[in-house]
Chain A
Amino acid sequence: MITRKDVEHVAKLAQLELSESEKETLTRQLGDILKFVEKLGELNTDGVEPTYSVVPVSNVMRVDAEKPSLTQEEALSNAPEKDMGFFKIPKIME
């Protein structure tokens, strides 16, 4: 069972501010969905390897050489706030 306290904890991990009514709805809906997925417990998966990717993944290395990339201007073009070529953020500490 998922409780309202769980929802608050997860919201904190997800950096997501929730309203009181969102907390209430999510407690119920996440509970329903988790109950639905519990059916996986019926299956014995001892000794079964997990599939993290359907393709054989390995690190893909490229030659460490200079290539064209976004300009500083382009990289900053969508920034909500910028200053002197940097991304600007609110105060980190009070």
Chain B
Amino acid sequence: MDIINLTAGEIAAAISTKKISSKEATAAFLKRIQETDGTVKSFLSVNAEALKDAEKRDLELAAGKSGPLYGVPVAIKDNMCLKGSKTTCASKILENFTAPYDATVIKKLKAQGMVFLGKCNMDEFAMGSSTENSAFQTTRNPWDTSRIPGGSSGGSAAAVASKQAPLSLGSDTGGSIRQPAACCGIVGLKPTYGRVSRYGLVAFASSLDQIGPFAGNTEDCALLMNAISGYDPLDSTSINKDSADHTKGLKDGIKGMRIGLPSEYFEKDPSAEGVKAVLEAAKVFEQLGAKVEKVSLPHTDYCLAVYYIIATAEASSNLARYDGVHYGFRDKAAKNLRDMYNKTRAQGFGSEVKRRIMLGTYVLSAGYYDAYYLKAQKVRTLIRKDFENVFKNFDLILTPTAPTPAFKIGEKVSDPIQMYLSDIFTISVNIAGVPGVSVPCGFSSGGLPLGLQLIGRPFEEAAMLQAAYSYEQATSWHKKAAPVK
């Protein structure tokens, strides 16, 4: 059986009907990682116990355990704590940090019988849009290895796109799941803020961060959403709400669904390939029975500015904990405590992380708080209201995921603002706390994947996936595989 080319759902079915074992499935992906990761560089560490873990799953299955993803392998972004594994956030400051406990999402996946393949590369502390900010390696785009896989969850996206893993988890603060999903030609979903527990996710910007799934298709994405969603008393922003079954209405079609196209996302560069592809996709949604109309999100132009104030402010506070005392790197040559803090942080953090800590500290500092931080939080309210207004009359919003296909490695590293602009279509979703999913919607003239983004009402991921599934069935973009060998 050609295991690596099966969907996660098909692998689960093959395991539960004893056509293959979890160990065989895991071995097939480990082999693929071994063959391709010298080129793609998705993984920071591979789980040496993966085959043993899979054997245990097989015994449990033989003893009658079952579940929609039982025995299926999965890869994890290296900012989630997996007990006993290195959890580095792709930072020198956490290079030797071994997680002493499991994140809630990890606990959930363990309880549902999944097998961990390893930990994936990312921009340091999830700060970036290209995975070039990793302190350890640059992940390659499986479609063109001279290009970036997107970021910050670039390793998780590249792993799924190059069939090193059938599924993976990423985290998304400003587009870090959706933008790499678009760059790598796969499905990536950022859940509603509060849907998935953040306990055990290394914090970047706490009011924006969410964990979410990557998959090769919409149905697999729904399965992994089911596996990770739900209330967690250990995360005080987790929402106590009945968890929806994201696979239930998946195949119900989209007749009568109202989809809004926000003019602000299409007007800036109407000739861009990514924009044109989404306009073509809008026609497909119409043919499938949806009502597609132009709408307005008037504060779109302010999203990036709001984001870079709020995200850096929260990051500067969250990253104060890296002081060389309890865990992580310490400069042992420092002569006193203060000197140790300063030198440890100077050597442990990379340049983008330092830039954001500096900006965040500045906007929170005495005399500037009102002008920057408070102002940004007020504009955040206006941005949320834009979405609330549109969602009064529309079920979904359709936009491009990213302004361009994957760019060249090195192209934007020296210009932070150019790099930040990669997230211009995804950031508003985090600011408003609503869910968004990126789905493949074509290829550029250069053969690079393009993505469309569907945005839903809070806690209506299921409707978003339902529309994405219908679109996917009507097209075949997701079936084309990256040419990586």
* Chain A residues with a Cβ under 8 A of chain B: 2, 6-7, 9-11, 13-19, 22, 26, 29-30, 32-34, 36-41, 43, 45, 48-55, 57, 59-60, 62, 70, 74-75, 77-81, 87, 89-94
Min C-beta distance of A16 to chain B, whole Å: 5
Smallest beta-carbon distance B383→chain A, Å? 8
- Residue contact A30 to B358, C-beta cutoff 8 Å: yes
Residues of B within 8 A of A7 (CB): 358
Query: Which chain B residue lies CB-closest to A74?
Result: B100
Q: Pick the 6 closest A-B CB pairs, nearest first.
A: A54-B433, A50-B377, A78-B327, A80-B330, A45-B378, A17-B346
Given contacts A17-B342, A54-B384, A90-B336, contact A39 B302 (CB under 8 A): yes
Q: In the bound complex, what is the Cα–Cα distance between A26 and B304 (angstroms)? A: 19
Q: List 11 A-B contacts (CB under 8 A).
A: A15-B342, A15-B345, A17-B343, A22-B354, A32-B416, A38-B305, A40-B376, A60-B236, A78-B98, A78-B327, A89-B325
Smallest Cβ-Cβ distance to B381: which chain A residue: A51
Q: B432 in the interface, Cβ–Cβ < 8 Å?
A: yes
Q: Are A80 and B332 in contact (CB under 8 A)?
A: yes
**Residues on B with beta carbons closer than 8 Å to the beta carbon of A78:** 96-98, 100, 326-328
Complex contact B193–A49 (CB within 8 A)? no
Q: Are A36 and B355 in contact (CB under 8 A)?
A: no
A to B contact number (C-beta, < 8 Å): 165
Query: Do B417 and A36 touch (CB < 8 A)?
Result: yes
Interface residues in chain B, defined as those with a beta carbon under 8 Å from any beta carbon in chain A: 96-98, 100-101, 193-194, 207, 233, 236-237, 239, 299, 301-302, 304-306, 308-309, 316, 320, 323-330, 332, 334-343, 345-346, 349, 351, 354-355, 357-359, 361-362, 365, 372, 374-382, 384, 416-417, 432-433
A-B contact sample (6 more), CB < 8 A, given A51-B381, A55-B194: A13-B361, A40-B309, A45-B378, A52-B207, A78-B96, A92-B336
B305 touches A89 (CB 8 A): no
Whether A32 and B336, one on each chain, are in contact in the complex, defined by CB atoms closer than 8 angstroms, is no
Contacts of B417 in A (CB 8 A): 32-33, 36
Contact partners of A41 in chain B: CB under 8 A: 375
A9 to B, closest residue via Cβ: B365
Q: How far is the CA of A90 from the CA of B379 in the complex (A)?
A: 44
Chain B positions within 8 Å of A87 at CB level: 325-326
- Cβ-neighbour of B381 out of A19, A39, A49 (below 8 A): A49
Select A16's contact among B358, B365, B380, beta carbons within 8 Å: B358
Do A90 and B334 touch across chains, with their CB atoms under 8 A apart?
Answer: yes
Would A10 and B358 count as touching, CB distance under 8 A? Answer: yes
Please state if A80 and B324 are interface contacts (CB–CB under 8 Å): yes
Is B308 touching A33 in the complex (CB atoms < 8 A)? yes
Question: In the complex, what residues of B have CB within 8 A of residue A89's CB?
Answer: 325, 337, 340
A53 to B42, CA, bound (A): 33
Q: Check if A37 sits within 8 Å of B362, measured CB to CB.
A: no
Nearest CB in chain B to that of A6: its residue: B362
- Report the minimal beta-carbon distance from A29 to chain B, rounded to whole angstroms: 6
User: Interface residues of B: mostly helix, strand, loop or mixed?
Assistant: helix
Tell me the dominant secondary structure on chain A's binding face: loop
Contact indicator A55/B355 (Cβ below 8 Å): no
Q: Which residues of A contact B308 (CB under 8 A)?
A: 33, 36-37
**Residues of chain B within 8 A of A48, CB atoms compared:** 378-379, 381-382
Residue of A with least CB distance to B360: A14
Contacts A2-B362, A53-B237: A91 and B375 contacting too (C-beta < 8 A)? no
Query: A33 — which chain B residues lie within 8 A by C-beta?
Result: 308, 359, 416-417
With a CB–CB cut-off of 8 A, which chain B residues contact A11? Answer: 358
Given contacts A33-B417, A43-B382, A78-B328, contact A10 B362 (CB under 8 A): yes
Q: Give Cα distance in the complex from A59 to B370, angstroms.
A: 25
Whether the Cβ atoms of A90 and B355 lie closer than 8 Å is no
Q: Which residues of A contact B345 (CB under 8 A)?
A: 14-17
Chain B residue nearest in CB terms to A58 = B236
Q: Which residue of the partner chain A has the closest CB to B83?
A: A74
CB distance from B22 to the nearest CB of A (A): 29
Give the residue name and chain of the A residue nearest to B94 (CB).
Answer: A78
A75 to B101: give the CA distance in the assembly, Å. Answer: 10
The answer to whether B361 and A14 touch across the interface, beta carbons within 8 angstroms, is yes
B331 CB, nearest partner CB in chain A, Å: 9
Tell me if A77 and B358 are in contact (CB < 8 A). Answer: no
Assess whether B358 is in contact with A14, with CB atoms less than 8 Å apart. Answer: yes
Q: Which of B305, B335, B349, B351 has the most CB of A within 10 A?
A: B305
Query: In the docked arrangement, what's the CA distance between A2 and B101, Å?
Result: 42
Q: Which of B98, B239, B349, B375 contacts A55 (CB 8 A)?
A: B239
Taking each of A49, A74, A77, A90, which has the highest tally of chain B beta carbons within 10 Å of its own beta carbon? A90
| CB neighbours of B306 from chain A (8 A) | 40
Set A51, A90, A92: member contacting B384, Cβ < 8 A: A51
Q: Find out whether the CB atom of B325 lies under 8 angstroms from the CB atom of A53.
A: no
B23 shortest CB reach to chain A, Å:
30
Task: Find B357's partner among A16, A36, A39 (CB 8 Å cutoff).
Answer: A16
A6 to chain B, nearest CB (A): 7
In angstroms, Cα B327 to Cα A75, docked, is: 9
Q: In the assembled complex, how far is the CB of residue A32 from the closest CB belonging to chain B, in whole angstroms?
A: 6
Closest A residue to B338 by beta carbon equals A15
Residue in A15, A17, A38, A45 whose Cβ sees the most chain B Cβ within 10 Å: A15
